[in-house]
Structure 1
Amino acid sequence: MSKVAVVTGANQGIGFGVVRRLCKEHPTWTVYGTSRSAANGEEARKKLEAEGLTAKYLEADLTKADTIVAMKEKLLKEHGGIDILVNNAGIAFKGAATDPYAVQAEVTLQTNVFGTHTVCEQLFPILRDGARVVILSSFMAMRALHKTKEISPSRYEVYIKNDPPMTIDAALNLMREFVSSVKAGDHAQKGWPDNSAYGTSKLANTVMARAYQQQFSSTPERDIVVNAADPGYVNTSMTSHSGNLSIDEGADTPYYLAVLPPNTPIKGQHVSKRCVVEWK
């Protein structure tokens, strides 16, 4: 069966690697990548074409909701729905960045958390039965979790026990609280890690995957699965090309989760190297 796949932030890096893998392994599928500019998307499309692969590119900026709405309308009009959504788009400030931490926190969360939520909010209604959703997390998510255990055991328990289950609204409100606390300058006193906006955003992505999966638990017959993927430390512009993995190696776990078979037991999990990572 031919499927429709969408990978955000796919004109370079891990997203480009995921698009390439999907095109190679499933040449009859319709694969879309997105980029913040049409020019970058066209350049990526041509690179794939030079490799004998066919992909389409759509313009989508996670900080501009109207571009996400336009993407949804195009996908709905041309295909009636989608089967795979890989939320890869994200940003990270460099270690040498001089921007105030309040700016780093707000900008990072705006794309990695709230922008990702906008994509899900728009595209979830057009997911077909059996759809697979992947949210790119990071090994930094688990580091942020361990740091939280040190400085805020009560919040750590909320993450770990998930009892009652944390809703997506609760997760987003928690991240709004983080940004507000950073702006107010009292985040450390309130038990938030210092100078780790990226790690906090990636922990949020993992929590979001779990919360989204819980939303679909009421309709198990639809077999829609959401997971968070840790791609590893990848050689991309985001890591200043210091990562030890190629983009194709980094794309492996996201790809694996994007094509999980029917009735998979892997749901709402944080996955690294194709293995579920235990929350602890």
Structure 2
Amino acid sequence: MWVISRKRKVLVTGANKGIGYAIVKGLCERFDGDVYLTSRDPVKGQEAVTKLKALGLNPLFHQLDITDQISIDNFKKFIKEEYGGIDILINNAGVYANQSLTMGEQAEYNVNVNYFGTLNLSSALFPLLRNNAHVVNVTSSVGRLQRIPSMDIQKKFKEPDLTIENLSKLMKEYIKTAKENRHVEEGWGSNAYGVSKVGLTALTMLQQKFFDQQYSNKNLSINAVHPGWIQTDMNKTATTSPENGAKSSLFAALDSNVKGQYIWNDCRIVDWAGPLPQRM
């Protein structure tokens, strides 16, 4: 007879280094249950787990590539069979495309991973969320809507009847525009990473609406978090540690009861469509 573990479970994507690694470390120190560190590269993932175990912590590992549907499906099958459900999901996996690529290539790479990869994983795992589960999407300060210059495009992101399907079409439209080198002319700006994170933040708000409509009895929450300007492979000149970058994610996952919000790196709730928040 197959026995499903009822232990509480948390998953962190893209967690073999940087902010993801720091999030796993913080969760292992505070969360009462199994903490899974996932990464695309199994060798790097296992090395990260070994480092954390040397600190007296006990994370578990599973391979997961959010851009590979087979990897997503295998991971979902494992979670469903072993645990039956998820208590916390932290979507940290993301990329910053090399600036030497053409803008079309940057747009496609950033959006396909940061937006569509997160969307595809979420679509697979959301049915496994247990009552009172928390989901965290790690976005960025450039995930604020005002980072897109065109007011007309901003309005499309803020339409009250916007659906996830239409948001995805908008993100594909951006990729097409960038490939045709019309992105600046059309008002998207010149930061492909920023557009991908705007899309992710907007997706977060729509996913909360989905929870409220489809799982109203489960009390599910999802929030977008800005980790700050953190020392990672993406930001080698930054001065803030990954441990500080993990604070907003840990707050959203463990300490907050808000839903469908944009959480700043100091754990303030801010308006994702508003101006840059002032430093405290």
TM-score (norm 1): 0.91
Query: Structure 2: which amino acid aligns with 1:228?
Result: A
CA distance in 2, matches of 1:155, 1:102: 18
Provide the rounded CA distance (Å) in 2 between the counterparts of 1:38 and 1:188.
39
Moved over 6 A (4+): none
Amino acid at match of 2:225: A
Q: In structure 1, what is the equivalent of residue 260 of structure 2? A: 268
Whether the 8 Å contact between 1:206 and 1:269 is mirrored in structure 2 is no
**Secondary structure of 1:223 counterpart:** coil
**Matched position secondary structure for 1:85:** strand
For the residues of structure 1 that align with 2:142 and 2:151, how far apart are their CA atoms?
Answer: 18
* SS across alignment from 1:228: strand
Q: How does 1:53-92 map to 2 (within 5 A)?
A: 53-92=57-96
CA contact (8 A) 1:8 1:86 kept: yes
Tell me if the contact between 2:114 and 2:196 (Cα under 8 Å) persists in the aligned partners: yes
- Classify the secondary structure of the residue corresponding to 1:62: coil
Separation in 1 of the partners of 2:263 and 2:239? 19
Q: Which runs of 5+ in 2 are unaligned?
A: 1-5, 275-280
Matched, 1:18 2:23: yes
Q: Following the alignment from structure 1 to structure 2, what is the Cα–Cα distance between the partners of residues 213 and 130?
A: 13
The letter for the 2-side match of 1:182 is A
Q: Report whether the alignment pairs 1:167 with 2:163.
A: yes
Query: What is the distance in 1 between the residues matched to 2:134 and 2:166?
Result: 23
Q: Give the C-alpha shift of residue 147 in structure 1.
A: 3.7
Counterpart of 1:32 (choices 8, 20, 36) is 36
Q: Given that residues 5 and 84 in structure 1 are in contact (C-alpha distance below 8 angstroms), is that contact kept between their aligned partners in structure 2?
A: yes
8 Å contact 1:91–1:112 — kept in the other structure?
Answer: yes
State the partner residue of 2:133: 131
Q: 1:38-57 residue pairs with structure 2 within 5 A?
A: 38-57=42-61
Contact preservation (8 Å) 1:62, 1:68: yes
Structure 1 SS opposite 2:37:
strand
| Residue 215 (structure 1) aligned with residue 220 (structure 2) | no
SS in 2 for 1:210: helix
1:239 has 2:235 as partner: yes
Aligned with residue 11 of structure 2, among 1, 6, 12: 6
Q: Is the 8 A contact 1:210 1:227 kept in 2?
A: yes
User: What's the TM-score, normalizing by structure 2?
Assistant: 0.91
Amino acid at match of 1:31: V
Aligned residue in 1 for 2:195: 200
Give the length in aligned residue pairs. 266
Q: Which runs of 5+ in 1 are unaligned?
A: none
Residue of 152, 156, 176 corresponding to 2:172:
176
Identity of aligned pairs, percent? 33
CA contact (8 A) 2:157 2:167 kept: no
